[in-house]
Amino acid sequence: MAPVKVTKVLCIGAGYVGGPTCAVIALKCPHITVTIVDLNQARIDAWNSPDFKLPIYEPGLEDVVRQCRGRNLFFSTDVEKGIQEAELIFVSVNTPTKKSGVGAGFAADLNYVELATRQIAAVATTSKIVVEKSTVPCRTAESMRTILEANSKPGCHFDILSNPEFLAEGTAINDLFKPDRVLIGSLQTEEGKDACAALAAIYANWVPEAQILTVGLCAFSSVNALSAICEATGANIDEVAHAVGYDSRVGPKFLKASVGFGGSCFQKDILNLVYLSESLHLPEVAAYWRQVVEMNEYQKRRFSKRVVDTLFNTITGKRIAVLGFAFKADTGDTRESAAITLIRDFQSERAFVNIYDPQVVEEQIWLDLDEASPAVPLENIKKQVKICKSALEACRDAEAVVIATEWKEFKEIDWSEVYSTMKKPAFVFDGRLLVDAEKLREIGFRGHHHRPPCSLMKIR
C-alpha cells in the first residue's frame, strides 16, 4: 500500500505547540488545508481577530498567520467537523503535571489527550493518521492506539505516530522553518511505515530529508533519560543518542547560568522521568532526575535570599522592581516562570513589588500570583503588588531592581534615569546575566569589581 498523500490536516489544540506548528505547515504546504480547532472560544476568536491580536506572542508568528489565514489555514471550535474531514490529525492538547492522585506532582495529566483520542474514535467514519504532538511521557502513543482500536467503527483504521516538538519559545518560528531535525515514531509495520512516510512527505516540503528521522514508536520519548529507562521501556538507546545529537540546543546555548529555568515543558518532562523511573523500579534514576528539579528550586531560593541579605537582612516595607514575568524573553508564556517564585518570596517578606513585562497581560500575572499563594486572598496580593506600564515606572522609588527575564529592552534601559528615581543606596540583581556592569559604572554607578553568585551588583 502506497503512503497516502495528505491534503487535509487537523490540529486539536490551538496553544503554543499546535498553533505555530500548523501555521507553518500551512505556509510551507499551500496544497494542504490546515484547520486548527480548540474548545476555547476566546482563544479561537483571538486567532481569527481582524487586527491579528493572536492569543500567544511569538516573533514571526503573526506574519505567518497573515499569509495563510483564510487561504489554507482556518481556526474553529467545530472539533467534530474537523475530525470528519481530516486525513491526518495532530493531537496537541495541554498535558500539565498532575496535581492530585497517583503520581501527583510528577506524572503528566493525560486526561485531555485521552478525551481527544476518544472523541476522534467516536466521530471518525474514515481511516485517519493520528499524530501525538503534545509533551507526553513514553508509551502515550501506545495508549492512544489501544483506545482508538477499541472504539473504532467498522472499516475505520487508525495509524498512530509520535512527532515530538523541539520548539524553544521565543524562537519557535525559526525552529520550525529550520529545524535541527524532525523526529517521527511509528510502529514498524507496513501500515505504520506508510503513515510515517505520509507525515515525512509533509515536512519534506521544506525540511531536508536527511534531517527527518524515523524511529520506533517509543525511542525518542526517552530523550535525556538514561539507558536503564530505555532498556525497561524497549526504547533503543542508540536511536535516542542519535536524536539528541541533532539538537543544536544541547551545548553552549543551554549551559547558561540564571535564576532558574522555567517553561511549559522542561520541568514537566523531568518530572515525567521521575515518575517513569519510579514506575519502572529504578529508584536511583528517579532520585537523579528529582535532584535536577530540586536544584532549580534551590537556585530560586538562593537568589531571593541574596536580595534579602543584601538589603540589610530585611525587605519588609521596601519596594522591589521585578523586570520580566515571562519565563524567558520573546514569549508571553509564564508557566513555571522563576519570577513567580521570586515575587511570592518577596510577598512573604512583606515587601512591595512593582512588575513590568512587555508581553504578559495583567490578567495572567494576577492568575499566576493567585495560584502561587493559595492561602492569600487576591485582594491582599494586590495591596503589595503593582503592575506597571514600563520599566522606568516599575523602578521609580524602588530600593532594588531584579531582572527576571532577559528581554532585550532591559539591556537598553536608560540606567542613569533609573538611578535618579530610585532610593539610595540602590541595588540591581541581575538574574539573567544581562546588564553590562562596566557600562553601568561608566554611567556613574559604583559596584563590585567581580560578580558574586547570582550576578549581584550593588549600586551606591
Is 203 one of the annotated binding-site residues? no
451 is known to lie in a ligand binding site: no
Element (H, E) at 309: helix 283-310
Is 15 within any annotated ligand binding site?
A: yes
Is 362 annotated among the ligand-binding residues? no
DSSP structural state of residue 2? P
d(CA 101, CA 250) in angstroms, rounded, equals 34
- State yes or no: 166 annotated in a binding site: no
Query: 6 labelled as ligand-binding?
Result: no
CA distance 318 to 423: 10
- Is 384 annotated for ligand binding? no
16 annotated among ligand-binding-site residues: yes
- Could you give the CA distance from residue 207 to residue 201 in angstroms, rounded to a whole number? 10
**Sign (positive or negative) of CA dihedral 104, 337, 253, 25:** positive
- First-to-final CA distance of the chain: 75
Q: Is 405 annotated as a binding residue?
A: no
Task: Supply the DSSP symbol for 4.
Answer: P
Q: Per the annotation, does 135 bind a ligand? A: yes
Q: In whole angstroms, what is the distance from residue 313 CA to residue 260 CA?
A: 23
The number of residues in the chain equals: 460
Q: Is 314 annotated to bind ligand?
A: no
Residue 238 is assigned to a ligand binding site: no
94 assigned to a ligand binding site: yes
The verdict on whether residue 18 carries a ligand-binding annotation is: yes
User: Residue 284: helix, strand or coil by DSSP?
Assistant: helix
Structure-block grid coordinates of residue 60: 514571526
User: Has 68 been annotated as catalytic?
Assistant: no
**How far apart, in whole angstroms, are the C-alpha atoms of residue 298 and residue 294?**
6
Residue 189 marked in a binding site: no
- Asked whether residue 310 is marked as a ligand-binding residue, the answer is no
DSSP letters for 377-400: -HHHHHHHEEE-SSHHHHHTT-SE
218 Ramachandran zone, left/alpha/beta (phi>0; psi -120 to 50)? alpha
**What SS3 class is residue 101?**
coil
Judge whether 305 is annotated as a binding position.
Answer: no
* Residue 375 among known ligand-binding residues: no
Check the annotation: does 376 bind a ligand. no
Query: CA-CA distance, 395 to 354, in Å (whole number)?
Result: 7
Instruction: Determine phi and psi for 365, rounding to 5 degrees.
Output: -65, -45
Does 17 belong to an annotated binding site?
yes
Is 335 within any annotated ligand binding site? yes
Which of 22, 265, 395, 454 is catalytic? The answer is: 265
Q: How many Cβ atoms sit within 10 Å of the Cβ of residue 438?
A: 10
- How far is the C-alpha of 401 from the C-alpha of 321, rounded, in Å? 5
Strand stretches in 168-237, DSSP E: 182-186, 212-216
Please provide residue 264's backbone torsions phi and psi, each rounded to the nearest 5 degrees. Answer: -80, -15
Sequential DSSP letters for 443-455: HT----SS--GGG
Residue numbering of the annotated binding site: 13-18, 38, 43, 93-97, 134-135, 169, 265-268, 335
Residue numbering of the annotated binding site for NAD(+): 13-18, 38, 43, 93-97, 134-135, 169, 265-268, 335
- Give catalytic residues, as residue numbers: 265
